[in-house]
Amino acid sequence: MSFLKRFHWFELALIAIVMGVHIYVAFSAPHNFSTRWFTRDDAYYYFKVAQNISEGHGSSFDGINLTNGYHPLWMLVCVPIFALARFELILPLRILLVVMAALSVTTSILLFRLLKKQVGVPIAMLAASFWAFSMTVHSTITQQGMETGVVALSTVLFLYLLQQSEEKKRLAPRDLVILGLAALFVLFSRLDGIYLVLIAGVWVVFRRTPIRYLLPIDLLLTFSVVVGAYIQRAGLRHYLLRYDDAAILMAALTFVIQTVVFYFTGLYLHPKNLSAWETVVMTLFGVTLSAVISSVVLLTLSNYGVLEIPRAVPALYWLGMLPLTLLTRFALRFISPWPMTLSKELKPALGFLTAKNPFRFMLEPVGGWLRDGLPYFGVVGTGLALYMGLNRLMFGTFMPVSGQIKRWWGSMPNDVYGGGAKTILDVFAIDPNFSQTWGLFTNQVFTWAEKLSKPDGNFDGWYWSLLAVFAGGWLVLTLINRKKNLHRIFMLGLIPLLVSAELHAFVYGAMAYAAKHEWYWTMQMLALVILGALGLAMLIDIFPRHKSIQITVWALTGAASLYLAFGFFVEITNRMPFVDPLAGQPYMDMLPILEGYTEPGALIGMTGGGNAGYFIKNRTIVNMDGLINSYAYFQALQENQGGQYLTKIGMDYIFANEYIIVNSMPYRQQFTPQELSPVDGAPAYGQKVLMRYLPGN
Q: Tell me whether residue 59 is in a domain.
A: no
Q: Are residues 569 and 665 in the same domain?
A: no
CB 622 within 8 A of CB 609: yes
Q: Are residues 83 and 18 in the same domain?
A: yes
494-546 pLDDT tens trace: 999 999 999 999 999 999 898 888 899 999 999 999 999 999 999 999 998 88
Q: How far apart are CA 370 and CA 56, in angstroms?
A: 45
pLDDT at 360 over 70: no
Q: Are residues 3 and 147 in the same domain?
A: yes
CB 142 within 8 A of CB 101: yes
Sheet holding 676-678, edge to edge: 620-623, 603-606, 653-656, 689-693, 676-678
Domain final residue, candidates 344, 364, 389: 344
How many helices and strands in the chain, by DSSP H and E? Answer: 30, 5
Q: Which amino acid is at 176?
A: L
Q: Which residues contact 556 (CB under 8 A, 6 or more apart)?
A: none
Q: Are residues 30 and 135 in the same domain?
A: yes
Domain final residue, candidates 297, 317, 344: 344
Cis amide bond preceding 666, omega within 30: yes
Mean local confidence (pLDDT), 99-103: 97
Tell me what pLDDT residue 1 has: 55
Phi, psi of 684 (to 5 degrees): -75, 155
- Number of domains forming the structure of the chain: 4
Tell me what pLDDT residue 358 has: 58
H-type alpha helices, 193-338: 194-205, 211-234, 236-238, 244-264, 276-303, 313-335
Q: Which residues contact 566 (CB under 8 A, 6 or more apart)?
A: none
CB 605 within 8 A of CB 651: yes
pLDDT at 347 over 80: no
Q: Are residues 536 and 565 in the same domain?
A: no
Q: Are residues 24 and 113 in the same domain?
A: yes
pTM confidence score? 0.94
Q: Are residues 88 and 12 in the same domain?
A: yes
pLDDT at 354 over 70: no
Q: Tell me whether residue 638 is in a domain.
A: yes
- Helix or strand holding residue 606 (H, E): strand 603-606
- For residue 605, give the DSSP letter: E
pLDDT at 318 over 50: yes
8-28 pLDDT tens trace: 899 999 999 999 999 999 999
Q: Tell me whether residue 185 is in a domain.
A: no
Mean local confidence (pLDDT), 271-278: 85
Q: How far apart are CA 182 and CA 161, in angstroms?
A: 8
467-495 pLDDT tens trace: 999 999 999 999 999 999 999 999 999 99
Distances from the Cα of 157 to the Cα of 74, 108, 214, angstroms: 16, 11, 24
DSSP 312-373: THHHHHHHHHHHHHHHHHHHHHHH--S-----TTTGGGGGGGSSS-HHHHHHTTHHHHHHHH
Q: Are residues 163 and 217 in the same domain?
A: no
Q: Tell me whether residue 507 is in a domain.
A: yes
Q: Tell me whether residue 429 is in a domain.
A: yes
565-618 pLDDT tens trace: 999 999 999 999 999 888 889 999 999 999 999 999 999 999 989 999 999 999
Q: How far apart are CA 522 and CA 519, in angstroms?
A: 6
- Centre a 10 Å sphere on the Cβ of residue 112 and count the other Cβ atoms it contains: 23
Closest CA to 137 of 455, 632, 529: 529
Residue 608's domain comprises: 591-693
Q: Tell me whether residue 186 is in a domain.
A: no
Secondary-structure percent of the chain, ordered helix, strand, coil, rounded to 5 = 70, 5, 30
Give residue 31's Cα distance to chain centre.
31
- Helix or strand holding residue 446 (H, E): helix 439-452
Q: Are residues 296 and 443 in the same domain?
A: no
pLDDT at 349 over 50: no
Q: Are residues 317 and 466 in the same domain?
A: no
Q: Tell me whether residue 180 is in a domain.
A: no
Distances from the Cα of 289 to the Cα of 222, 250, 270, 294, 317, angstroms: 15, 16, 20, 8, 12
Q: Tell me whether residue 45 is in a domain.
A: no
Distances from the Cα of 564 to the Cα of 143, 316, 570, 658, angstroms: 17, 49, 10, 46
Q: Are residues 93 and 3 in the same domain?
A: yes
Query: What does the mean pLDDT of the chain come to?
Result: 91
619-667 pLDDT tens trace: 999 999 999 999 999 999 999 999 999 999 999 999 999 988 888 888 8
CB 317 within 8 A of CB 300: no
Distances from the Cα of 208 to the Cα of 17, 246, 338, 500, angstroms: 42, 35, 13, 20
CB 186 within 8 A of CB 176: no
Question: Percent of the chain at pLDDT above 70?
Answer: 96
Domain final residue, candidates 297, 328, 344: 344
Could you tell me the maximum CA-CA distance found in the chain, to the nearest angstrom?
89
204-255 pLDDT tens trace: 999 888 999 999 999 999 999 999 999 999 999 899 988 999 999 999 999 9
Count Cα neighbours of 404 within 13 Å in the Cβ-side half-sphere.
Answer: 20
Tell me what pLDDT residue 357 has: 52
Q: Are residues 565 and 473 in the same domain?
A: no
295-310 pLDDT tens trace: 999 888 888 877 888 8
Helix (H, G, I), strand (E, B) or coil at 603: strand
